[in-house]
Chain A
Amino acid sequence: QKEVEQDPGPLSVPEGAIVSLNCTYSNSAFQYFMWYRQYSRKGPELLMYTYSSGNKEDGRFTAQVDKSSKYISLFIRDSQPSDSATYLCAMSLNTGFQKLVFGTGTRLLVSP
């Protein structure tokens, strides 16, 4: 079993839809949780990070962490075609960001 599980998709939605992306994990010691966006042939870029449980909102993006269920989510409101990319969750231990453990990524396609 992988430490971090993520549905590879693709997830296809129409423009304007609310998108829900999720990851589950097995290591209860993870404390930092991140979401990266990766466009084709590009390196990942950090979208959001949270520490421990709770919600965090940034514009159209909301990240949720439920440590009791070992489950994290990224919600995208009013999705746009420019949001089409692969979304990777990542997490690390309480020592910080040095050794990130990534999910496989979910490919999102937003059609106009």
Chain B
Amino acid sequence: GAGVSQSPSNKVTEKGKDVELRCDPISGHTALYWYRQRLGQGLEFLIYFQGNSAPDKSGLPSDRFSAERTGESVSTLTIQRTQQEDSAVYLCASSLSGGGDTQYFGPGTRLTVL
């Protein structure tokens, strides 16, 4: 079956522009996660969706970052007024449910802010 897919695979934008990153989780997975991976650093948790519960936004670094998820399907991560420090690989993962289920990662979107 298909894994987690993300689009675009690469995004180059100018400082100050808004960007939207998309994640399609594995079908049937109720939990969805966003992480950021900066060069030379580990993955940083950003946000977690579980079913219809309120998302856990505790990892979002500023109010320029937001994410939405429609039901148990597609999620969009939006970064407003991008800054150069936002340059990173943004990874999405999904799991069957929350708790102890394995997270399956997508290939990521490489964002470069000029």
- The prevalent SS among residues of A at the interface is loop
Distance A32 CA – B99 CA, assembled complex (angstroms): 11
Decide if A99 touches B102 in the complex (CB within 8 Å).
no
Q: A96-B98, A97-B99, A99-B56 are in contact. Are A43 and B45 (CB under 8 A)?
A: no
Task: Decide if A104 touches B41 in the complex (CB within 8 Å).
Answer: yes
Q: Which of A26-49 contact B (CB under 8 A)?
A: 32, 41-46, 49
> Which bracket fits the contact residues of B?
20 to 34
Q: Roughly how many angstroms separate A101 CA and B43 CA in the complex, as a whole number? A: 7
Nearest to A23 among chain B residues (CB) is B42
Question: Is A88 in contact with B100, judged by CB distance below 8 angstroms?
Answer: no
Whether the Cβ atoms of B106 and A98 lie closer than 8 Å is: no
B105–A43 touching, CB < 8 Å: yes
Tell whether, in the assembled complex, residue A97 and residue B42 are in contact, meaning their CB atoms are under 8 Å apart: no
Rounded to whole angstroms, the CA-CA distance of A32 and B100 in the bound complex is 9
A-side interface residues, number (CB < 8 Å) = 24
Identify which of residues 41-84 in chain A touch chain B, using a CB-to-CB cut-off of 8 Å: 41-46, 49
Q: Which of A8, A43, A104, A105 contacts B93 (CB 8 A)?
A: A43
| Alpha-carbon gap, A2 to B40, bound state (A) | 13
- C-alpha spacing A8/B33, complex, angstroms: 25
Chain A contacts for B40, CB-based, 8 A: 8, 104
Residues of B within 8 A of A (CB): 4, 31, 33, 35, 40-45, 48, 50, 56, 58-59, 91, 93, 95, 98-108
Task: Kindly list the 6 A-B residue pairs having the minimum CB-CB distance in the complex, ordered from nearest.
Answer: A43-B105, A102-B42, A102-B43, A96-B99, A104-B42, A99-B45
